[in-house]
Amino acid sequence: MRLTRAGAAVVVAVVTMVVASGCQGKKDDAPAMKAMPVAVQAVSATPVSASDTYVATIKSRRSATMQPQVDGQLKQILVRSGDAVKAGQALMVIDPLKQDAAVEAQRSTEQQKKAVYDYNRIEVERHRKLFAAGVTSRDALDAAEQAYANAKADYESAKAQTKTQTEQLGYYRIRAPFDGVVGDVPVHVGDYVQPATVLTTVDEIAELEAYIELPAERASEVKAGLPVQILDDAGKVLAESKIYFVSPEVDSGIQAVLAKAAMPRTAATLRNAQMVRARVVWGTRPTPTVPVLAVTRIGGQAFVYVARHEGQGFVCRQTAVTLGDSVGNDYPVLSGLASGDKVILSGLQFLSDGVPVQPIN
């Protein structure tokens, strides 16, 4: 059976209406997306320390640069960089062969002078007895007395020179001036050293301080007593102290003010010349905070999910935030949130912007 053009048009129209009707029915019957229950926490302002972190250098209050007082060839190096040493401990030995020879020569001279002294002492005693018996003249006695005095002076001078030369031997053994840690050792066995040669350094670990360069624009805020925290690369607090010295002058080269903070003796992980981060606490002020677990990072940018009331319920909104340094388990929020915002704490891996949620306090 053939359909006319008019009949075909009617059939097409009827089919189109049926399909449209079926599709409409399916759309109306589709259930709405179920809201996901999530734990939330309202943002509130809490007292947070206002602080900034700067690069600081740890320096020893007591540091000695070891240089020889004599010249010669380095014979022994008894320590290595980083070794802990006690006061008086030998660090290096300079070959004392030349000085040993000088001491022996001086001892021989001393013995010679002593022999002359002993002879003149006996001779003057004999002349005194002869003069008392009227056998010798006053001139002979005076000459004997003079010879004895000269011999005595020569002998005592020789003794003093022997003592000096012997003490000089001590300069060939380099010793630690106090308890501390050995620094860099730039010399080697066999090197010829002289008084201008730097052999090593000894730094006392018990007395350390942090040198902190603070921006000149904050000079008016810098004062003694400000808390300082020394941090490692992971942000862990290594030591806590307070600023005790503030330079009265601004370094014109770097436009900074030098501040110093004494380090406690318990900060055993710190070393002289170590570069660290120093957090200077300027004070406290009310600041919105969010738990660390509520923060996600994408490409270095921090985000939180906030449950916002839209329409008949709540949806999550991904919100970019600017955070300060963590304080305990919370981040201070510098921008992006306001007090009262409901920050989502759970199910973050299942969320995306606009997903319906059901807040659970």
Closest CA to 105 of 49, 166, 52: 166
Q: What DSSP assignment string belongs to 171-224?
A: GGEEE-SSSEEE------TT-EE-TT---EEEE-TTSEEEEEEEEGGGTTT--T
pLDDT band (50, 70, 90) for residue 31: low
| Beta-carbon count within 10 A of 26 CB | 8
The yes-or-no verdict on residue 18 having pLDDT over 70 is no
Helix (H), strand (E), coil (C) string for 267-281: CCCCCCCCEEEEEEE
Residue 267 has a pLDDT of 65
Residue recorded with tokens 């904050």: 218
- Taking alpha carbons only, the member of 282, 217, 276, 278 closest to residue 250 is 217
Instruction: Tell me: pLDDT of 131 over 80.
Output: yes
- pTM to 2 decimal places: 0.52
Q: 44 with 339: CB under 8 angstroms?
A: yes
- Catalogue all structural domains in the chain, each as residue range(s) with its CATH number: 36-47+287-360 (2.40.420.20), 53-61+208-285 (2.40.30.170), 63-182 (1.10.287.470)
Query: What digits encode the pLDDT tens for the residues 210-243?
Result: 999 999 988 888 999 999 999 988 778 889 999 9
Q: What is the mean pLDDT of the chain?
A: 86
pLDDT of residue 201: 92
Residue 309 structure tokens = 């009331």
Establish how many alpha carbons lie within 13 A of residue 263's alpha carbon, considering only the half-sphere containing its beta carbon: 31
Phi, psi of 107 (to 5 degrees): -65, -35
Q: How many CA atoms lie within 13 A of 128 on its CB side?
A: 9
- How is residue 39 written in tokens? 């734990």
Handedness of CA 128, 134, 137, 138 (dihedral sign): positive
Q: Per-residue pLDDT tens for 185-204? A: 999 999 999 999 999 999 88
**Mean pLDDT of all residues in 35-61:** 87
